Amino acid sequence: MYETVVNGLDATHSRRRVENTFSFSMSYLESSCIQVTQMFYHGFDNYMEHAFPLDELKPLSCTGEDSLGGYTLTLVDSLDMLALLGDRDLFSEGVNWIGKNLRFDKNKTVSVFETTIRMLGGLLSAHLIASDSSTGMQVTPYHNELLHLAEDLGRRMLPAFETPTGIPFGSVNLVHGVSDDESQVTSTAGGGTLTLEFGVLSRLTGDPGEDLTVLILKVYDELFQRITVMGNSQRCDEILTVIITFTYFHTCPGEC
């Protein structure tokens, strides 16, 4: 149940309004959980049967394709959901298979944004779950294979951030870096939201990431200078993302 007080409204009034808007019966919640679980396994099981180890399942033809990088994307992207559903067997099998078979030393040009949020983020989240006994999903034996893969992938992505602003190119080749004819058109989201995954990677590996730190500060400075006199909420959001992520992952001592 969510409770909130908005703009100084009476707490009782606010609570009543929230309950009327967001209150669901237990039977409805249980039914929704079952539906979500069924929908997930419908997609995941068909991917494993018809598309694995390719990136994605083509739902009409029931065939697979390497649409993003040829790195078994859907399996990596699904690991945290398997853990949330408490599927210890499939989660462990997925972690073990990826640790033994996934490699990034391939001549593939990939989307910087998609690869970061789905592959790098998927590897990092699954590593945190698999290595922590408190999650109830700890994998044994496990020797940080997913973290090592995440570090390798992260380093292969860094050339994309070597721009005048620090905002990354849209694509990068996992072996050769950024092509000379790569488009100059990109998104400020690449300079803001991606600091989350790279910040987590830096914290987990113990690597202060000096090169990445410089890039993050460059992005912050560039975005700050481009705020207009009237202000721009989108750019402010990007700056806040950079500041909060940078502060937490690079200055927070000990276990936070």
Residue 153 pLDDT > 90: yes
Among 190, 188, 200, smallest CA distance to 244 is for: 200
* Average pLDDT rounded to a whole number, residues 81-110: 96
The set of residues, in sequence order, having a beta carbon less than 8 Å from that of 88 and lying 6+ positions away, is 136, 137
Quick one: how far is CA 249 from the chain centroid? Answer: 16
The whole model's pTM is what? 0.77
The identity of residue 244, as a single letter, is I
Euclidean distance between CA atoms 94 and 49, whole angstroms? 14
Residue 43 pLDDT > 70: yes
pLDDT digits (tens, 9 = 90+) for 213-246: 555 556 656 655 655 444 554 545 544 444 444 4
Among 46, 77, 48, 52, smallest CA distance to 65 is for: 52
Q: What is the pLDDT of residue 14?
A: 44
Please, which residues bridge with residue 147 across strands? none
Q: What is the pLDDT of residue 215?
A: 58
Residue 198 pLDDT > 90: no
Higher-scoring residue by pLDDT: 17, 43: 43
> Which of the residue ranges 7-16, 69-78, 201-210 has the most confident prediction, judged by mean pLDDT?
69-78
Q: What is the pLDDT of residue 244?
A: 44
Class of 72-251 in CATH: mainly alpha
Euclidean distance between CA atoms 49 and 54, whole angstroms? 11
Q: Do residues 166 and 216 make contact, with C-beta atoms less than 8 angstroms apart?
A: yes
User: Minimum mean pLDDT among 41-55, 56-70, 124-138, 195-209: which range?
Assistant: 195-209
**What angle do the packed helices 121-130 and 73-84 form, to 10 degrees?**
40
